[in-house]
Amino acid sequence: MCGIVGYVGGRPCRDLLIAGLEKLEYRGYDSAGLSLLEDGRIDSVRAVGNLSNLRAAVAERRDEGAVAVAETDATIGLAHTRWATHGRVTEENAHPHSDEEGDVHIVLNGIVENHSELRRELIAEGHEFSSETDAEIVAHLIERHYEGELTDAVRAAYAELRGHYAFVAMHVEHPGTLVGARHECPLVIGVGDGETFLASAIPAFLRETRTVMQIENGEIVTIGPDSVDVTTAAGEHRDRDIEEVTWDEDEAERGGYPTFMMKEIHEQPDAVAETITDRLPEVDEVDLSELELSAEQVAGIRRIVIVACGTSYHAGLVGRYAIETWARIPVEMDVASEYRYRDPVVGSDDLVIGITQSGETADTLAAMRLARERGAHVLAITNVMGSQATRDADSVLFTRAGLEIGVAATKTFTSQVAAIYLLGLWLAQSRGHIARDRVAELIAELKALPRKIGETIEATDQHVRAIARSHYDGRFFLYLGRHIGLPVCLEGALKMKEISYIPSDAYAAGEMKHGPIALLDETTPVVCVATESPVLEKVLSNMAEVRARGADVIAIGTQGSELEIGDSADQALFVPETDWILQPILAVIPLQLLAYYTARLLELNVDQPRNLAKTVTVE
Ligand code: AGP
């Protein structure tokens, strides 16, 4: 999730653009850059790392004598902070990108799914690429279609792209015009006095103007200092209302949400979509060629070991069901802080998967290194390019959730689960363990998940809020589940513990009668994950067991099972139907919300809970 800003107006804009980037750094920052157009030439500066490196690079260029950026009064420009998804963290891969002549410059947020085939086409036409990114494609496509009108060239390029993206383009022959396009990813217009901004989020220009215009999906916008022209992909003109933003700057950074955690809960549809979409180019085949695992290596995997901590460990537990059910490879799970000290038996025919959103968790890294030293092939599932985990692994599968600021992991959990579903299906297909039409069925279900996650948030939000109101002063929460529902319970209990500080426990429902049932009385809220699964009947009888002790059952079920769940629970929430193995990615949403609203009712800081750090780099 990158940050993009564009400006055209009457003021020198270099520092305006960099200030805009500072307000977008929460979107991710492994590199940054800007391009400025003045006196018929465009000059660019890019730097790896955060904005202080970009500022230093601008100063450096002063020394090298290139005046445009250092001394410029340019009043039109583009800028970008990057959260790498395609192409390593290098200066060449930083934005803005341009065509060979440097006449067209673009900044892009999102993913161009069909970048490989377009790149092949353009290279065949003689285009030369200077980066590994999917985004650079757009600059060459605009150059390909350019016949004097920038908007027309952008529209033609837009028609060839597939994916989730928003971009802004600048052309050396148009010193008073920027053209932007939006497809799924956010892009908004800031209207000033004799100046206009384009940005991926309002904070980028909120200090300069509070007057905004929204750009709808599939629209193209042409801006000048005093003009905004919104058109469709087909070229029809669209009128657009002006809105005044009342947010304060902090609120703006949270996208208008009260906290980063709530913002990140709502970003889950996009995070999952970006994590899966370009790995599902075909209707019946998963493409994980990025793992660079040969067919022999895949066929030779005798066992899989998943090591992780906290929420990442829970994602691994869900993944175990997918891998064992689809690929029939035995999966062993271990918390990394235990695995690294138990002298594990591991070797060359094992695939060891380290799951870590930050890519910096010391215990997980140590467990990965130990397995690698003992000959295992190590795969990291991580959200951060350039993180240590990417260096301690032989293969890397990136989730694409964007930067997660809330300490309590939400969108990185659902993205990890989505990534491990892809891995399970790819291993099954690569080892010929699953029929092509079954793969097609599951791919269709996977592609529907972003929409269903959005529906789940909408459908359960207010109901969960009401449930939290009746239980937030509870002294203990118990979560019960079976089979693939148990990891969801573990994750729900962890969220409740880490942000509401209420003692909470998750237990295999079948184990209740072997002890924990003694904990129950009429004051105990018991959250039961009873979504569609091969053991739903069993879960229903455990719910009856709990109710018989007077406890309050809050059930999470699958739409369509209202009758049997409704009779067995005091409160019931339902998530959309999907394949039982995919249910956890939906069932966890109401549990995230329950912990969230409970903590809010207790007036606790959900973004930065006590005693917790986002990344645990200590042993
Ligand atoms: C989850 O909400 C917590 N922040 C914590 O348990 C976290 O999942 C754990 O520290 C692992 O972090 P990682 O995914 O960055 O390795």
What is the C-alpha to C-alpha distance for residues 423 and 417, in angstroms, rounded to an integer? 10
308 CA from centroid of ligand 1 (Å): 9
**Ligand 1 pocket member 608 (CB < 6 A):** no
| pLDDT above 70 coverage of the chain, percent | 97
For a pocket test of ligand 1, which of 260, 309, 382, 398 has the largest count of ligand atoms closer than 8 A to its C-beta? 309
Per-residue model confidence as pLDDT tens digits over 183-230 = 988 899 999 999 999 999 888 999 899 999 999 989 999 999 999 999
Contacts of 191 (CB under 8 A, 6+ apart): 197, 209, 211, 212, 213, 228, 242
Contact 393, 293 (CB under 8 A): no
Adjacent-strand bridge partners of 35:
44, 78
pLDDT at 184: 84
pLDDT at 277: 86
Residue range 504-508: mean pLDDT, rounded = 97
Give the pair of three-digit tokens for residue 21: 């980037």
CA angle 548-561-528, nearest 5°? 40
Per-residue model confidence as pLDDT tens digits over 244-294 = 988 777 777 788 899 999 999 999 998 999 899 889 988 899 999 999 999
pLDDT at 234: 95
Read off the pLDDT band of 28 (50, 70, 90).
low
What's the pTM?
0.83
Which residue type occupies 468? A
23 CA from centroid of ligand 1 (Å): 26
What is the chain's length?
619
Give the pair of three-digit tokens for residue 525: 């809220």
Burial per residue of 421-458, b for 16 or more beta-carbon CB atoms within 10 angstroms, e otherwise: bbbbbbbbbbbeebeeebbeebbebbeebbebbbbbbe
pLDDT at 71: 67
Q: Does residue 65 come out as left (phi exceeding 0), alpha (psi in the -120 to 50 range) or beta?
A: left
The atom of ligand 1 lying closest to the CA of 412 is 14
- What beta strand segments (E) does 150-232 contain? 163-171, 178-183, 188-191, 196-199, 211-214, 219-224, 227-232
Per-residue model confidence as pLDDT tens digits over 325-358 = 999 999 999 999 999 999 999 999 999 999 999 9
The atom of ligand 1 lying closest to the CA of 495 is 2
Residue range 539-566: mean pLDDT, rounded = 93
* 3-state secondary structure (DSSP) of residue 259: coil
**Ligand 1 pocket member 615 (CB < 6 A):** yes
pLDDT at 611: 81
pLDDT at 67: 47
Phi, psi (deg, nearest 5) at residue 228: -140, 125
Read off the pLDDT band of 1 (50, 70, 90).
confident
What is the C-alpha to C-alpha distance for residues 311 and 313, in angstroms, rounded to an integer? 5
Which residue, among 321, 322, 555, 591, has the nearest Cα to 456 in the 3D structure?
591
- In terms of average pLDDT, the best of 46-60, 144-158, 205-219 is 144-158
Residue nearest atom 7 in ligand 1 by C-alpha distance: 310
Residue range 71-77: mean pLDDT, rounded = 87
- Asked whether the CA dihedral 15, 95, 201, 27 is positive or negative, the reply is negative
422 pLDDT more than 70: yes
Which residue, among 396, 418, 383, has the nearest Cα to 615 in the 3D structure?
383
552 CA from centroid of ligand 1 (Å): 30
Per-residue model confidence as pLDDT tens digits over 444-495 = 999 999 999 999 999 999 999 999 999 999 899 999 999 999 999 999 999 9
Contacts of 235 (CB under 8 A, 6+ apart): 155
Q: Catalytic positions, please? A: 2, 614
Give the pair of three-digit tokens for residue 403: 């930067």
What is the C-alpha to C-alpha distance for residues 48 and 268, in angstroms, rounded to an integer? 27
612 CA from centroid of ligand 1 (Å): 10
The atom of ligand 1 lying closest to the CA of 308 is 16
415 CA from centroid of ligand 1 (Å): 13
29 pLDDT more than 80: no
**Ligand 1 pocket member 561 (CB < 6 A):** no
**Ligand 1 pocket member 409 (CB < 6 A):** yes
Strand pairing class (41-48; 76-82):
unpaired
406 CA from centroid of ligand 1 (Å): 11
63 pLDDT more than 60: no
What is the C-alpha to C-alpha distance for residues 187 and 198, in angstroms, rounded to an integer? 7
**Ligand 1 pocket member 383 (CB < 6 A):** no
**Ligand 1 pocket member 407 (CB < 6 A):** yes
582 pLDDT more than 50: yes
**Ligand 1 pocket member 361 (CB < 6 A):** yes
- In terms of average pLDDT, the best of 106-110, 545-549, 567-571, 593-597 is 593-597
| Cα-based torsion angle of the residue sequence 109, 111, 112, 117 in order, rounded to the nearest 10 degrees | 140
**Ligand 1 pocket member 365 (CB < 6 A):** no
Tokens 């009342």 belong to 246
